[in-house]
Amino acid sequence: MRAGAKLGLILLLMPLLLWLGLLIIVPHIDMFLVSIRERIGVGRYQISPANYLTFFTEPLYLVTFMRTALMSILTTAITLVIGFPVAFYIAKVAKGRLQSSLFLLCLVPFWVSELVRTFGWMILLRETGIFSSFLQWLGLVDGPVEMLYNDVAMIVGLVYTSMLFMVVPLVTTMESLDDSVIEAGYDLGGSNLSILREIVIPHAMPGIASGSIVVFMLSLGNYLTPTMLGGKDSLWFTELIYSQFIVRFNWELGAAFGFMLLILSSIIVWAMLKVTGQTLEKTMT
């Protein structure tokens, strides 16, 4: 039996190790090796930090990198602020049928490809779009208004795309908050605000952490929304990676960019976990 258990363990470990090894760990090591080499001739390379130096000395790259990080943090914050009251409503105010159908409605946009969602916003926001026509019909503006291709449109799209990943973990954590705890807060003379601050938010912290991490990751790594909704000045870091790999065929620099993005996302995720006092295992399950 012990031998059988050992055999079972080995058989079950194999797929895990193959998957993680061949598709996650080794490819990332290889990507790192490519990022620290420099082409010195046809098919000849040497190890050098040149790609990283390019990254740090070229203002366009560094500025785009910082901008992408800040905009993603902004997107995460906006998503949290918009989604929190709705999640509270679904978890604590709505009851029975209404509760489950509202929750289901929140999931619907997720069943649809991100491309379709972005396309929807393009139809709404563009010059010949719904909002522009509506404003003209109301008589508020004289001619067509272009609302697409700027940072606001891009953030609207990013928030929309990732809303679900904020609302669902928030609803799940807040559902476990007992009504009587909130009632006790009121009995003890708490105001709406103090109860929100002292009881609801601390209880929802695991949900806030996991929602924020996922939304941040999705925004940072997004390519579609900035490309389709953003303007000329809203260059996203993933677009730089794509152009180095596919358009310029400079894989060395592209791999260095990829690594910088990976480092940035790891640092920010780690910081979010520290600030909210969570661990990766707890937030992901």
**Residues 215-244 interacting with other proteins (rule: CB under 8 A):** 217, 220-224, 228, 238, 241-242
Residues 25-84 that bind other proteins (CB under 8 A): 25-28, 30-31, 34, 82
**Between 34 and 235, whose beta carbon lies closer to other proteins?**
34
Residues 11-30 that bind other proteins (CB under 8 A): 11-13, 15-16, 19-20, 23-28, 30
Q: Rounded to an integer, what is the distance from CA 245 to the centroid of its chain? A: 22
Residues 97-156 that bind other proteins (CB under 8 A): 102, 105-109, 111-117, 119-124, 126, 128-130, 133
Q: Which stretch binds other proteins (CB under 8 A): 46-54, 56-64, 91-99, 146-154?
A: 91-99
Contact between residue 255 and residue 31 where contact means Cβ atoms under 8 Å apart: yes
For residue 99, give the amino acid letter.
Q
Partnered with residue 44 across adjacent β-strands are 41
Q: How many CB atoms lie within 10 A of CB 30?
A: 11
Closest distance of CB 153 from other proteins, Å: 12
231 dihedral zone (left: phi>0; alpha: psi -120 to 50; beta): beta
Q: What angle do CA 31, 227, 56 make, to 5 degrees?
A: 45
Take residue 65 and report the two structure tokens written for it: 């990198």
**Between 52 and 89, whose beta carbon lies closer to other proteins?**
89
**Between 60 and 108, whose beta carbon lies closer to other proteins?**
108
3-state secondary structure 96-124: HHHHHHHHHHHHHHHHCCHHHHHHHHHHH
Dihedrals φ, ψ of 223, to 5°? Answer: -120, -40
Of 264, 263, 260, residue with least CA distance to 55? 260
| Dihedral over alpha carbons 266, 271, 272, 276 (to 10 degrees) | 140
Binds other proteins by CB under 8 A, chosen from 62, 81, 271, 284: 284
Binds other proteins by CB under 8 A, chosen from 77, 86, 145, 152: 86
Q: Which stretch binds other proteins (CB under 8 A): 50-58, 59-67, 145-153, 193-201?
A: 193-201
Sequence-distant (6+) residues with CB within 8 A of 67 are: 235
**Between 155 and 269, whose beta carbon lies closer to other proteins?**
269
Q: Which stretch binds other proteins (CB under 8 A): 48-56, 59-67, 179-187, 201-209?
A: 179-187
Q: How many CB atoms lie within 10 A of CB 83?
A: 25
Closest distance of CB 161 from other proteins, Å: 10
**Between 28 and 39, whose beta carbon lies closer to other proteins?**
28
Sequence-distant (6+) residues with CB within 8 A of 159 are: 75, 78, 79, 82
Q: Is position 182 an interface residue for other proteins (rule: CB under 8 A)?
A: yes
Residues 159-178 that bind other proteins (CB under 8 A): 160, 163
Closest distance of CB 179 from other proteins, Å: 6
Closest distance of CB 85 from other proteins, Å: 6
Q: Which stretch binds other proteins (CB under 8 A): 52-60, 73-81, 145-153, 209-217?
A: 209-217
Take residue 75 and report the two structure tokens written for it: 């997107």
